[in-house]
């Protein structure tokens, strides 16, 4: 089937089911971000506590992605995803019925939401294993466009919280989760080309490959920046410009939409010109934009435009990373998706928590942006140093695929 049109290969129902599952799961994963200004006021949280509240789901999702990465290769993506969805629905319904009335309660809820974030390690291999190498960027990009679920959280969570109270939002979120679960059970199907289960020691062996660590770093910047900002922008907009949580939600939704929309474009662009070249542009542009943001622009329109652009750049980078990963680790795509997703989650946890810490102890969240810009530059230097080796080793062995 090599050389065939993208729509002539693969399994479209599974691709759709993977996207919908990922989309709704991501909506729930970042739910505390747009609700943070309301929750923080209600529970009298400090800046550090606000930062940790929105960062814990990201950290929990990062750790659980490792678990899902192993399970995907051992019991299959579909079964792994079904288990995670049941846990999230049950956890949210329990939180809604019992209520969340303390900072520790928000942290416990954040751990539950981490199971939704771990959907990344399921949805991408579920879709990817149906497609040949030349279409990996597009398949992973479409499935990964489930990042757009964060748009729905930013748009609707503050409005629903204003109408019914923020605790009610937890129960209302179970409705789309249940619908997505039913669709998933009906349409998702494991590829017949599932790799044979490996021992746990074999999974650990992947970490002996230097390339695995590079991919963890690269995604830690692109996806870490994306999800860290998605979780934090509502707080930033309300603190810096004094706008309402609903208005901040609209602004955050627009920025997140930009990053989500271009993810498949990033994958397709990487298929065409190469993932390495695409990522080089992404890291350079992101570092520049974050450094400008760190100066604290006082004009709302300028600040919004900067965040909108950097989110779009990071979204392109997300697609580009996962154009490269399946080329290098096709037989270990499940565990690598978990490992690379772990790196992305850690990056998001760092960015979201560092902004709150910087605000409380340094008087401004801007220092967090400076350090993350430096990390983006480190990723650019690392990519530049490794690209020749990649192109002359495993990259050279893949005929007709741009890396």
* Euclidean distance between CA atoms 277 and 279, whole angstroms: 6
pLDDT by residue (tens digit) across 199-239?
677 778 888 899 999 999 999 999 999 999 999 999 999 99
The pLDDT of residue 334: 67
Report yes or no: 121 and 338 within 8 Å, Cβ to Cβ: yes
* Residue 83: domain span: 12-191+198-392
To the nearest 10°, report the CA torsion of 260, 262, 266, 269: 160
Which of 123-127, 248-252, 358-362 has the largest mean confidence?
A: 248-252
Is 119 part of any domain? yes
Task: For residue 126, give the nearest of 184, 198, 186 by alpha carbon.
Answer: 184
- Give the confidence band of 137 by pLDDT, cuts at 50, 70, 90: low
Q: Which residues contact 2 (CB under 8 A, 6 or more apart)?
A: 132, 133, 134, 400
Question: H helices of 77-165, where?
Answer: 77-98, 103-117, 120-128, 136-144, 149-164
3-state secondary structure string, 153-170? HHHHHHHHHHHHCHHHHH
What end-to-end distance do the CA atoms of the chain give, in Å? Answer: 20
* Euclidean distance between CA atoms 310 and 330, whole angstroms: 30
CATH number, position 346? 1.20.1250.20
pTM: 0.84
Q: Which is higher by pLDDT, 58 or 148?
A: 58
Report yes or no: 403 and 395 within 8 Å, Cβ to Cβ: yes
Phi-psi region at 299: left, alpha or beta (left = phi > 0; alpha = psi -120 to 50): beta
Is 6 part of any domain? no
Percent of the chain with pLDDT over 90: 67
Residue 3 predicted with pLDDT over 60? no
Joined tokens for residue 77: 């993506």
Task: Indicate the SS3 state at residue 311.
Answer: helix
Give me the mean pLDDT over the 126-131 stretch. Answer: 84
Is 398 part of any domain? no
Residue 1 predicted with pLDDT over 50? no
Q: Which residue has the tokens 């860290």?
A: 228
Determine whether 171 is exposed, middle or buried from the number of CB atoms within 10 Å of its CB (0-12, 13-18, 19+).
middle
Is 2 part of any domain? no
pLDDT by residue (tens digit) across 54-69?
999 999 999 998 888 8
* 68-77, 104-113, 307-316: segment of lowest average pLDDT: 68-77
Determine whether 210 is exposed, middle or buried from the number of CB atoms within 10 Å of its CB (0-12, 13-18, 19+).
exposed
The pLDDT of residue 93: 97
pLDDT by residue (tens digit) across 66-106?
888 888 888 999 999 999 999 999 999 999 999 999 999 99
Number of domains in the chain: 1
Is 264 part of any domain? yes
- Give the confidence band of 396 by pLDDT, cuts at 50, 70, 90: confident
* 124-138, 256-270, 291-305: segment of lowest average pLDDT: 124-138
The pLDDT of residue 288: 98
Give me the mean pLDDT over the 314-322 stretch. Answer: 92
Mean pLDDT score across all residues of the chain: 90
Give me the mean pLDDT over the 1-28 stretch. Answer: 83
Residue 397 predicted with pLDDT over 90? no
Is 403 part of any domain? no
Is 38 part of any domain? yes
CA distances from 200 to 64, 69, 76 (A): 16, 11, 15
* Euclidean distance between CA atoms 205 and 145, whole angstroms: 30
Give me the mean pLDDT over the 261-268 stretch. Answer: 85
* Euclidean distance between CA atoms 111 and 305, whole angstroms: 32
The pLDDT of residue 232: 94
Residue 327 predicted with pLDDT over 50? yes
pLDDT by residue (tens digit) across 348-386?
999 999 999 999 998 889 999 999 999 999 999 999 999
The pLDDT of residue 143: 78
Q: Which residue has the tokens 């289960």?
A: 197
Is 4 part of any domain? no
Give me the mean pLDDT over the 176-196 stretch. Answer: 91
């Amino acid at each position: 089937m090599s050389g065939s049109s993208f729509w002539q290969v693969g399994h479209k129902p599974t691709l759709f089911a993977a996207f919908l599952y990922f989309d709704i799961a991501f909506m729930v994963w970042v739910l505390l971000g747009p609700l943070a200004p309301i929750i923080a006021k209600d529970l009298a949280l400090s800046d550090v506590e606000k930062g940790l509240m929105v960062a814990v789901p990201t950290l929990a999702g990062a750790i659980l992605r490792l678990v899902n990465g192993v399970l995907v290769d051992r019991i299959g993506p579909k079964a792994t995803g079904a288990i995670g969805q049941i846990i999230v629905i049950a956890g949210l319904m329990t939180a809604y019925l019992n209520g969340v009335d303390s900072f520790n309660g928000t942290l416990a809820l954040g751990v539950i939401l981490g199971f939704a974030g771990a959907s990344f390690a399921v949805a991408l291999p579920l879709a990817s294993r149906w497609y040949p190498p030349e279409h990996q960027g597009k398949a992973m990009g479409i499935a990964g466009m489930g990042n757009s679920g964060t748009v729905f959280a930013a748009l609707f969570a503050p409005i629903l919280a204003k109408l019914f109270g923020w605790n009610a939002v937890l129960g209302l979120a179970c409705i789309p989760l249940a619908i997505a679960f039913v669709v998933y059970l009906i349409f998702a199907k494991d590829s017949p080309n599932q790799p044979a289960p490996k021992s746990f020691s074999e999974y650990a062996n992947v970490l002996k490959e230097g390339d695995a660590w590079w991919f963890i770093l690269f995604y830690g910047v692109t996806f870490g920046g994306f999800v860290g900002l998605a979780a934090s922008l509502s707080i930033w907009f309300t603190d810096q410009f004094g706008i309402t949580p609903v208005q901040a939600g609209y602004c955050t939704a627009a920025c997140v939409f930009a990053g989500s929309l271009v993810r498949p474009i990033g994958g397709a662009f990487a298929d065409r010109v190469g993932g390495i070249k695409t990522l080089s542009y992404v890291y350079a542009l992101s570092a520049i934009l974050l450094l400008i943001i760190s100066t604290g622009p006082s004009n709302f329109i300028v600040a919004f435009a900067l965040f909108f652009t950097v989110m779009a750049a990071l979204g392109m980078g997300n697609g580009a990373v996962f154009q490269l990963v399946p080329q290098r680790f096709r037989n270990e795509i499940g565990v690598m998706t978990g490992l690379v997703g772990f790196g992305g989650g850690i990056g998001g946890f760092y960015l979201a928590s560092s902004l709150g810490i910087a605000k409380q102890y340094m008087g401004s969240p801007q220092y967090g942006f400076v350090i993350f810009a430096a990390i983006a530059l480190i990723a650019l230097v690392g990519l530049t140093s490794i690209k020749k080796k990649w192109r002359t080793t495993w990259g050279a062995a893949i005929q007709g695929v741009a890396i």
